[in-house]
Chains A and B, each alone.
Chain A
Amino acid sequence: DGGITQSPKYLFRKEGQNVTLSCEQNLNHDAMYWYRQDPGQGLRLIYYSQIVNDFQKGDIAEGYSVSREKKESFPLTVTSAQKNPTAFYLCASSKDRALSGNTIYFGEGSWLTVV
């Protein structure tokens, strides 16, 4: 079945450690996105990528890094520089960059807790 797969679903991290969240899609979508969701904050954009080997910072990129070496993969690294990393992370993709006639599809999310 086509879709977006995020892993792990739940992750605990000690302060000071980096952690990488995986996002894979087999929808042949060009654009991929990472959002962070906190209670009462809606979805905030961390990074997005419109094409392989290219990505752009979103609204809250500090303390995060990404790569887009393959079309189907867009991993997110939460670094120790991110001060409040505990959150729900959603990966998404869309067919084309313009979002003009397409919707965005979401993965099931990853819960990251810093202990």
Chain B
Amino acid sequence: EDKVVQSPLSLVVHEGDTVTLNCSYEVTNFRSLLWYKQEKKAPTFLFMLTSSGIEKKSGRLSSILDKKELFSILNITATQTGDSAIYLCALSGGGSEKLVFGKGTKLTVNP
């Protein structure tokens, strides 16, 4: 059974801190790993990762995938209060046409 485990489940930091969110997975036939940010309602897409070792970057956010060790990290540098959200990791693979989500990491950035 495909599985996605995110850690930590909850994190509280101060503005300006750098954070690293973790996502480990088990899958029989990996296709892609996706990161989403969910503030109040609909999750919004951040990154899709398919290849190991290639960093995806968008502003202060970056993400990388390690297909050998079966994990991905999402980094946020110089955090702002607007980064407060639940960050979801999702996996596509196993010959199935559906995404498997982790439980999410709730990030709180205090001023």
Interface residues of A (CB under 8 A from B): 31, 33, 35, 40-45, 48, 50, 58, 90, 97-100, 103-109
Contact = CB atoms under 8 A, between A and B. Distances in A.
A88 B36 CA distance: 17
B42 A43 contact: no
B48 A43 contact: no
B98 A106 contact: no
Instruction: Sort chain B's interface into a size bin.
Output: 20 to 34
Given A43-B88, A90-B42, A104 B99 contact: yes
15 contacts: A42-B6, A42-B101, A42-B104, A45-B100, A48-B97, A58-B98, A97-B97, A98-B31, A99-B32, A100-B31, A103-B45, A104-B99, A106-B43, A108-B41, A108-B42
Contacts, number: 55
Contacts of B97: 31, 48, 50, 97-99
B92 A100 contact: yes
A20 B26 CA distance: 35
A33 B42 CA distance: 13
Contacts of A98: 31, 97
B9 interface: yes
Interface in B5-36: 6, 9, 31-32, 34
B31 A106 contact: no
